[in-house]
C-alpha cells in the first residue's frame, strides 16, 4: 500500500468496533480492498465524489455487491444520509483545507453519539488535522508515526452550530448577470478561473466576421463543467441550444444543476461520467473544454477524443490551455483548421471535426 495515510488507517483496522463503517475515498480505492480483507466481519459503505473511483470500486468489489449486504458503494455530492458507528477518512498534506473541513463536519453529522472518526495524514508533524478535529470533537486521540499521523476522534454530542461551505458568486455575461454556486472539491471554488473566463470569451469567435460566417450551435457539450459557469454562459448566449454539462465529480454536477436553477436556465442537462464518452456521437455542434494541467495530458486526451467522436462533421472544439506544444500537435492529428487565439494570458485552440466515413454534414 503506497499511501502512508491509507496504511495508517489499515493498521488501525483491528481497533474498529463497527459494525457499520463509512469510508471516505477521496484519493484512490486501495484502502477499500485492504479494509475488506482485514475486517470481513464489518459492513462497509465506500463513499466518493469521483465517478472514476466509483467505477473502479464496482469493478473490484462486484462479487461482494451481488452476494453480500456488507458492502455498499456510493458516488454522490454528499455523504449518505444515515447514521454510522465509525467513519474512516485518509487525508493528504496538500488537500484543500475547505474540503477537509467540510468532510470532517459531515462525518461528525453522520456518526452516532459515541461513534468515532478515524483520520490520518501523511504529515508526521501535523497540527492542522488535529486542530480541525478538536474544533468539532471533544475527545481526540493522536498517534504519531515516522511518516504520518493518525487520529481517533469520538463524538460525544451534536454540533450546536454547523458551518456552511457553499459559495455563490456572479459574473457578467452580455447584458445580464450570471450566478454560480460552488462548494469545496469543485474546481475553482468561489470564483470563475482565468481559463474559464477565456473559454467563455471564446464564444465571441462564433460570431460573424469578415473572414467567416456566424456559427450558431444548437447542441453544445462542455467537458469538465465544474461549477457550471461556462455552461451557464453558453446557455445565456444560445438560449435555444441544448447544452450538456459533463463532469466526473458528483459535486461539480450538483453545482452545475444549482447554477442553472439560480439563473432560471432550463436548457442545461448534466451527465456524471468518467469515461469521456459523449452520448449521441456525431451529433454535437460545439465542444468546450478546460482540461486540468495535473494529469500529464490524460484528461486533455480524453476531451479531444470526446470531441473526435461526439462532434458532427464541421463541428467545432474550443480548448483553453497554457500548454501549447502538445495541444497543437495532438489537435492537428485529430482535427482540421487548428487555430490558436490568445485571450488574456490563455490560449484557446479551435478546430473543426473532420469528415467521418458514411456520415452526412448537417447544414
Q: Domains in the chain, start-ordered, CATH in brackets?
A: 4-154 (3.40.50.150), 169-352 (3.40.50.150)
Q: Are 88 and 3 in contact (CB under 8 A)?
A: no
Question: d(Cα 270, Cα 252) in Å, to the nearest integer?
Answer: 10
Q: At what angle do helices 51-60 and 30-38 cross, to 10 degrees?
A: 40
Q: What is the pLDDT of residue 210?
A: 66
Residue located via cell numbers 432560471: 264
Mean pLDDT (the chain, rounded): 94
Instruction: List all residues 6 or more positions away from 97 whose beta carbon is below 8 Å from its beta carbon.
Output: 128
- The whole-angstrom separation of Cα 23 and Cα 43 is 10
Predicted local confidence at residue 118, as pLDDT: 99
Question: What's the pLDDT tens digit per position in 319-355?
Answer: 999 999 999 999 999 999 999 999 999 999 999 998 7
Q: What is the pLDDT of residue 297?
A: 92
The C-alpha angle 265, 269, 274, rounded to 5 degrees, equals 140
Burial pattern 18-44, b for ≥16 Cβ within 10 A else e, equals eebbbbbbbbbbbbbebbbeebeebbb
Residues 6+ apart with CB under 8 A from 236: 173, 174, 176, 178, 263, 265
Q: Among the residues of 39-187, which ranges form H helices?
A: 51-60, 62-67, 97-110, 128-136
- 234-238 contacts, C-beta under 8 A, 24 or more apart: 234/200, 234/203, 234/288, 235/260, 235/263, 235/265, 235/267, 235/268, 236/173, 236/174, 236/176, 236/178, 236/263, 236/265, 237/173, 237/174, 237/203
3-state helix, strand, coil in the chain (%, to 5): 35, 30, 35
pLDDT of residue 299: 94
Phi, psi angles (nearest 5°) of residue 118: -105, 115
Q: Give the H or E element holding residue 84.
A: strand 84-90
Rounded to whole angstroms, what are the CA distances from 74 to 21, 44, 54, 313, 342? 13, 11, 7, 38, 41
Residue 11 makes CB contacts below 8 A (sequence gap 6+) with 150
Q: Which residues of the chain have pLDDT under 50?
A: 357-363
User: Running DSSP on this structure, what letter comes out for residue 358?
Assistant: T
Nearest to 75 by CA among 258, 261, 247: 247
For 134, the grid coordinates are: 478538536
pLDDT digits (tens, 9 = 90+) for 221-267: 999 999 999 999 999 999 999 999 999 999 999 999 999 999 999 99
What is the C-alpha R_g of the chain?
Answer: 23
The position carrying cell 486540468 is: 292
How far apart CA 313 and CA 324 sit, in angstroms, is 25
- Show the cell assigned to 359: 456520415
CA atoms of 156 and 111, how far apart (whole Å): 10
Burial (Cβ within 10 Å: 0-12, 13-18, ≥19) of residue 170: middle
Amino acid at each position: 500500500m503506497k499511501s502512508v495515510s491509507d496504511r495508517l488507517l489499515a493498521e488501525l483496522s483491528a481497533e474498529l468496533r463497527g459494525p457499520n463503517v463509512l469510508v471516505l475515498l477521496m484519493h484512490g480505492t486501495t484502502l477499500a480492498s485492504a479494509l475488506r480483507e482485514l475486517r470481513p466481519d464489518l459492513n462497509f459503505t465506500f463513499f466518493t465524489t469521483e465517478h472514476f473511483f466509483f467505477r473502479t470500486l464496482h469493478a473490484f468489489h462486484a462479487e461482494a455487491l451481488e452476494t453480500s449486504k456488507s458492502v455498499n458503494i456510493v458516488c454522490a455530492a454528499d455523504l449518505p444520509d444515515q447514521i454510522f458507528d465509525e467513519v474512516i477518512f485518509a487525508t493528504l498534506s496538500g488537500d484543500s483545507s475547505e474540503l477537509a473541513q467540510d468532510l470532517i463536519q459531515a462525518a461528525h453529522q453522520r456518526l452516532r453519539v459515541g461513534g468515532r472518526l478515524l483520520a490520518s495524514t501523511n504529515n508526521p508533524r501535523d497540527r492542522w488535522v488535529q486542530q480541525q478535529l478538536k474544533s468539532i470533537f471533544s475527545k481526540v486521540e493522536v498517534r504519531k508515526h515516522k511518516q504520518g499521523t493518525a487520529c481517533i476522534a469520538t463524538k460525544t454530542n451534536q454540533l450546536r452550530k454547523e458551518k456552511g461551505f457553499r459559495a455563490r458568486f456572479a459574473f457578467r455575461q452580455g447584458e445580464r448577470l450570471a450566478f454560480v454556486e460552488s462548494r469545496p472539491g469543485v474546481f475553482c471554488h468561489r470564483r470563475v478561473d482565468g481559463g474559464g473566463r477565456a473559454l467563455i470569451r471564446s464564444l465571441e469567435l462564433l460570431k460573424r466576421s469578415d473572414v467567416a460566417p456566424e456559427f450558431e450551435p444548437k447542441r453544445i457539450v462542455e467537458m469538465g463543467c465544474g461549477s457550471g459557469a461556462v455552461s451557464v454562459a453558453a446557455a445565456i448566449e444560445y438560449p435555444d441550444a441544448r447544452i450538456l454539462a459533463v463532469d466526473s465529480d458528483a459535486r461539480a454536477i450538483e453545482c452545475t444543476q444549482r447554477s442553472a436553477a439560480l439563473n432560471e436556465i432550463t436548457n442545461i442537462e448534466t451527465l456524471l461520467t468518467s469515461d469521456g464518452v459523449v452520448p449521441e456521437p456525431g451529433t454535437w455542434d460545439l465542444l468546450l473544454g478546460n482540461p486540468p494541467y495535473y494529469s500529464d495530458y490524460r484528461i486533455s486526451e480524453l476531451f479531444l477524443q470526446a470531441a473526435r467522436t461526439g462532434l458532427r462533421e464541421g463541428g467545432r472544439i474550443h480548448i483553453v490551455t497554457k500548454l501549447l506544444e502538445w495541444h497543437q500537435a495532438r489537435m492537428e492529428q485529430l482535427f482540421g483548421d487548428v487555430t490558436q487565439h490568445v485571450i488574456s494570458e490563455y490560449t484557446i485552440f479551435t478546430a473543426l471535426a473532420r469528415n467521418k466515413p458514411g456520415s452526412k454534414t448537417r447544414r
